[in-house]
Each structure stands twice: as structure tokens, then as C-alpha cells.
């Protein structure tokens, strides 16, 4: 009785996490026990598992691995592909990267904090982007989301995609303004057996052109949504709120659901970059409280219509109209100890690479924190060194207790185990130059009772709706920390 690893799976390991199986088609990683991993290593078509010399623990593991789809029975001598064979990377594990392949853009958005039309962050050379693509593969970063600026303005866009693909890195998402999304683009992805989610900016029916600084932008992005739907490409969207377009929130969500958009993230425009410099932040911007009120007001519309889309209202509320009896409170962290949580849980497994080729927590931190400029570029050090004992990884490993101890206001706050000081990007927006600063938006959400208002409103509108975070708190008798 011989077994072999299914062709789509690869055996991999990283420093401190040596036992993993990777789905080569989507880049998903699953870590295994040493017992299960040893069994997978033995599934190479050469071992007869019916022989008594095979350890009993391996025979015990076989059925679970088979049911998981990792292995299949085979004929003796059937061999693994070379790419499937075990490879251990010398660096720490990083599941994915969001990579700005350009700092330039073909729009003139009134809220751009990157000054993308003027390429504030530069245009990396062809040699540099090819180096980064190779380095991602060498460090075992299995998934990449491509962004910009506007990534499709690069003439070597397909060279970048091909270099990633040849290195076994899956392009899972393309963030774009939609102006250059057409049949040819989608066909070229299909030719490469890639179907990334197309992530599009959409700022409201009747308002998109104004914010994007050009006529025809809304028509183009709507055409992109509809084309992707017709071609079977998943889409997601991000919508910025300001004083003018709040009135279009509901109908814009309904439209996105109607064209098959899978998810939408809504947030107000921050007082940064062009938005602040032009004076729009004062004349058209929404305060935190106005934003919370607008989102809270929308909930009645959401539960009445139940749009078929996964919705995230600025970390305030998250739900999917297709599953109306479930909702989430993204701002609530479920942890028992400050020492068990990294400074940014997302950044610990999902890095951001700036257009200059520097590692950062996220796009916001990369642009706002001047200390990021002290990090060497990936072209200088290589990705494996970046993900080993570097200043970037030392910061990445910093525990959230550093934020709480850094801010006197947090020390006695009953919400500290839930908010963990908030988001680092929003913290540095609130306190320029201080990466450990308090995220004032999340602080307001808790301290002014908005969290309790969300829960009360959902209970009124959909009494049957269950919230994972509330259930977690209830099991531990900690509901009082939220209200």
C-alpha cells in the first residue's frame, strides 16, 4: 500500500516553524505536527505502509492526511515532482506581502496621501522589481497582493507577474482604480492560470469622479466591476466617506452587491496628504463621531435589505447580508494576555513592501512613520535577511504590552485588553512620530459608548444575530470590558 503527496501540495518549513504543507495553487499554508509531517515526508511512492516496519504513528496519521486531501494511493515507484520536495527557508515565516510596485498613478485623487500622480515614492527600476520578485520566492513568501499607486501603469507589469509565478509565488489580489481593467488584462491572467481578486476603489454612485479628480472614472470602474463579474473574476471594493457622499452609502452598497462584489470596506478620509493640504479636510471631511453616526444609521438599511456582500464599516461593524444571523465587532481583540499578541497581528504574517522596496507594517505606517526610512531596502539585504534578525522583525515581534505601558491613559483603562491601543497606522496619525501612540478613533469608540450602541442597535434590528466576540467575552465573564 503506497501513498504519494498530491501534486498541488509542497513540503516546506521556516525557521521556528519547520513542518508545513503548502497549497501550490493558492499559496495557503498549513502547519502540521511532527508526527503528521514525518508521515507526509514518507509519502513519496517508495514506502509500503502495510509493512510491519512502518511506525504505528505513521499508519495512524495516514487516514487523516488522506481525508484532508494531502495524499492519495499510488503505484510503487511513482515519484514526487522536484518542486514538491521539502525545502526549509532560513528566515521567519511570512505568509503574504502587499507590494507597491510603483508610486505613480494615472488619477489625481483629492485624498491621496502618497502624492501618487507626482510619484512621491518613486518608480522602482525594472532590475529592482525583478530582484524583489526573486527574493520573495527565496524567502518562502507564498502569496502577493500587487498594489501601487496604480500598478497597471508599469510597462513591465507582466514581467513582474511572471517572475513571481515562476518562483512559486501566487498573485492573490490586484488593487487598481479600474481605468486599465479590460478584457485583455483578464485574459492574460487566465493564460497564466491566475485569477486574482480585483480590488477596486469605488467612492459612491454619482461622487466617484469628483474624488478621483477626473471625468469618466466612475463609468470606468463600474465597467470593470461588470466585466469581472461576467468573466468570473472575484472583486472587492474600498469606499471613502466624506460629507458629500454619505447620502449615497446605502445605494452604493446595493449597487456593488448587484454586480457580485464580494466585499466592501468603508472608512472616512483621514486628514492627510492632498486632502488636508487642499483644505478639503476642513470643508468636506467627517469627524470620527460623524462617521460613527453615519455607519450606525446605515445598520437599519443593512438589516432591511440584506445586501449580498461582506461589509466592513471602518472596523466598527462587519457582517454579510447572506448570513444575517452573524456579525463581528472588528475593533474587539480576543486575547487573554498582552504578552501573547504582537504589536500588529496582521503585520506579523502579512508584510507591506513600499515602492522604494522597504519593509513596513502596512501602507499607512510605511508612509507616515519616518523611522521606516532607516530600514534597508530588500534589494540591499535580501528578503531572507529582512525576515531574520533585522530591525523590521524585531519591531514585528514587539508585544502589544509595549503600547499599553507607553501610554499612561491605557494603564487603568478597562478596555485595554480589547482595544490593545488600536491600529498602529491610526496611532501614528493621531500622534505623529510615535509608532506606539494611541489610536484615538478606537479609543473614542470605546470611551464614548459607541461600542455598546452598535451591540444595542443590532439586538434591536436582528435579535437572532450572534457575535463571535461577544460570545468569547461572555464565556470568560468579561462583558463589562466592552460596555
Give residue-wise pLDDT tens across range 105-128: 999 999 987 554 455 567 899 999
Mean pLDDT of the region 380-400? 95
Instruction: Express each pLDDT in 321-333 by its tens digit.
Output: 999 999 999 999 9
pLDDT at 317: 97
Instruction: Count Cβ atoms within 10 A of the Cβ of residue 267 and give its class: 0-12 exposed, 13-18 middle, 19 or more buried.
Output: middle
Cα distances (Å, whole numbers) of residue 227 to 97, 187, 218, 260, 462: 27, 12, 14, 11, 35
Is position 300 within any domain?
yes
Is position 266 within any domain?
yes
Residues 76 and 100 in one domain: no
Instruction: Express each pLDDT in 35-48 by its tens digit.
Output: 999 999 999 999 99
Average pLDDT, the chain: 95
Instruction: Express each pLDDT in 23-79 by its tens digit.
Output: 999 999 999 999 999 999 999 999 999 999 999 999 999 999 999 999 999 999 899
Is position 231 within any domain?
yes
Is position 426 within any domain?
no
pLDDT at 9: 98
Mean pLDDT of the region 453-458? 97
Residues 150 and 278 in one domain: yes
Domain boundary among 51, 66, 88: 88
pLDDT at 118: 54
DSSP SS3 for 172: strand
Q: Decide if pLDDT at 400 tops 50.
A: yes
> How far apart are alpha carbons 133 and 2 in whole angstroms?
37
Domain boundary among 31, 60, 88: 88
Q: Which three cell numbers stand for residue 55?
A: 511506525
pLDDT at 120: 59
Mean pLDDT of the region 342-356? 94
pTM for the structure as a whole: 0.95
Kindly report the CATH number assigned to the domain that includes residue 69: 3.90.930
- Yes or no: say if 9 and 84 are a contact pair by the CB < 8 Å rule: yes
Cα distances (Å, whole numbers) of residue 133 to 84, 100, 165, 349, 367: 20, 12, 9, 18, 22
Residues 156 and 284 in one domain: yes
Instruction: Express each pLDDT in 298-315 by its tens digit.
Output: 999 999 999 999 999 999
> How far apart are alpha carbons 161 and 164 in whole angstroms?
5
DSSP 130: H
Residues 106 and 69 in one domain: no
> How far apart are alpha carbons 169 and 27 in whole angstroms?
7
Domain count, the chain: 2
Is position 339 within any domain?
no
Mean pLDDT of the region 131-149? 97
Domain span at residue 28 reads 2-88
Cα distances (Å, whole numbers) of residue 360 to 129, 262, 356, 363, 375: 17, 27, 11, 7, 9
DSSP string covering 433-478: T-TT---HHHHHHHHTTHHHHHHHHHHHH-TT-EEHHHHHHHHTT-
Which residue is associated with the grid cell 492573490?
172
Is position 438 within any domain?
no
- Yes or no: say if 277 and 111 are a contact pair by the CB < 8 Å rule: no
Instruction: Express each pLDDT in 239-285 by its tens digit.
Output: 999 999 999 999 999 999 999 999 999 999 988 888 998 999 999 99
Domain boundary among 328, 354, 381: 328
Number of helical H runs and strand E runs in the chain:
22, 19
CB-based contacts of 387, cutoff 8 Å, min separation 6: 91, 92, 94, 139, 393
State CA 408 to chain mean position distance. 31
CB-based contacts of 334, cutoff 8 Å, min separation 6: 469, 472, 473
Mean pLDDT of the region 456-482? 95
Residues 115 and 45 in one domain: no
Residues 116 and 241 in one domain: yes
∠ at Cα 174 (173, 176), nearest 5°?
A: 145
> How far apart are alpha carbons 157 and 150 in whole angstroms?
11
Residues 6 and 52 in one domain: yes
Is position 303 within any domain?
yes
Residues 135 and 6 in one domain: no
pLDDT at 116: 47
Residues 175 and 315 in one domain: yes
Residues 172 and 32 in one domain: no
Kindly report the CATH number assigned to the domain that includes residue 250: 3.20.20.70
Residues 40 and 107 in one domain: no
Is position 365 within any domain?
no
Residue environment code for 157-178, b if the CB has 16+ CB neighbours within 10 A, otherwise e: beebbebbbebbbbbbbbbbbb
DSSP 376: P
Residues 79 and 148 in one domain: no
Amino acid at each position: 500500500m503506497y501513498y504519494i503527496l498530491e501534486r498541488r501540495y509542497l513540503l516546506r518549513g521556516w525557521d521556528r516553524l519547520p513542518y508545513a504543507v503548502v497549497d501550490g495553487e493558492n499559496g495557503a499554508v498549513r502547519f502540521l505536527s511532527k508526527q503528521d509531517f514525518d508521515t507526509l515526508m514518507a509519502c513519496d511512492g517508495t514506502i509500503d505502509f502495510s509493512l510491519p516496519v512502518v511506525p504505528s504513528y505513521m499508519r495512524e496519521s495516514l487516514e487523516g492526511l488522506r481525508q484532508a486531501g494531502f495524499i492519495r494511493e499510488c503505484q510503487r515507484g511513482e515519484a514526487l515532482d522536484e518542486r514538491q520536495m521539502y525545502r526549509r527557508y532560513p528566515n521567519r515565516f511570512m505568509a503574504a506581502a502587499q507590494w507597491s510596485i510603483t508610486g505613480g498613478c494615472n488619477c489625481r485623487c483629492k485624498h491621496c496621501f502618497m502624492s501618487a500622480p507626482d510619484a512621491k515614492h518613486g518608480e522602482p527600476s525594472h532590475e529592482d522589481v525583478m530582484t524583489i520578485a526573486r527574493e520573495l520566492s527565496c524567502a518562502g513568501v507564498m502569496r502577493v497582493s500587487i498594489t501601487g499607486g496604480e500598478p497597471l501603469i508599469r510597462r513591465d507589469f507582466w514581467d513582474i507577474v511572471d517572475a513571481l509565478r515562476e518562483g512559486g509565488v501566487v498573485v492573490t489580489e490586484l488593487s487598481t482604480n479600474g481605468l486599465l481593467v479590460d478584457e485583455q488584462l483578464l485574459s492574460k491572467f487566465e493564460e497564466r492560470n491566475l485569477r486574482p481578486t480585483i480590488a477596486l476603489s469605488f467612492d459612491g454612485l454619482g461622487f466617484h469622479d469628483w474624488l478621483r479628480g477626473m471625468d469618466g472614472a466612475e463609468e470606468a470602474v463600474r465597467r470593470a466591476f461588470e466585466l469581472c463579474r461576467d468573466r468570473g473574476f472575484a472583486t472587492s471594493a474600498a469606499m471613502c466617506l466624506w460629507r458629500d457622499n454619505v447620502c449615497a452609502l446605502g445605494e452604493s452598497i446595493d449597487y456593488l452587491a448587484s454586480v457580485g462584489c464580494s466585499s466592501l470596506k468603508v472608512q472616512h478620509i483621514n486628514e492627510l496628504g492632498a486632502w488636508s493640504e487642499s483644505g478639503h479636510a476642513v470643508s468636506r471631511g467627517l469627524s470620527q463621531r460623524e462617521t460613527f453616526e453615519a455607519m450606525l444609521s446605515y445598520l437599519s438599511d443593512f438589516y432591511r435589505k440584506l445586501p449580498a456582500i461582506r461589509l466592513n464599516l471602518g472596523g466598527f461593524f462587519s457582517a454579510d447580508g447572506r448570513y444575517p444571523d452573524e456579525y463581528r465587532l472588528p475593533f474587539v481583540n480576543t486575547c487573554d494576555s498582552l504578552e501573547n499578541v504582537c504589536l500588529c497581528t496582521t503585520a506579523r504574517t502579512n508584510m507591506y513592501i513600499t515602492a522604494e522596496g522597504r519593509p513596513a507594517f502596512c501602507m499607512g505606517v510605511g508612509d507616515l512613520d519616518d523611522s521606516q526610512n532607516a530600514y534597508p531596502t530588500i534589494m540591499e539585504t535580501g528578503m531572507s535577511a529582512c525576515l531574520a534578525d533585522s530591525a523590521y522583525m524585531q519591531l514585528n515581534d514587539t508585544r502589544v504590552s509595549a503600547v499599553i505601558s507607553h501610554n499612561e491613559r491605557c494603564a487603568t483603562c478597562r478596555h485595554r485588553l480589547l482595544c490593545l491601543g488600536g491600529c498602529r497606522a491610526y496611532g501614528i496619525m493621531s500622534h505623529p512620530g510615535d509608532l506606539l501612540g494611541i489610536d484615538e478613533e478606537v479609543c473614542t469608540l470605546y470611551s464614548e459608548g459607541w461600542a455598546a450602541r452598535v451591540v444595542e442597535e443590532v439586538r434591536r434590528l436582528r435579535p437572532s444575530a450572534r457575535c463571535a466576540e461577544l460570545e468569547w467575552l461572555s464565556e470568560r465573564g468579561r462583558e463589562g470590558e466592552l460596555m
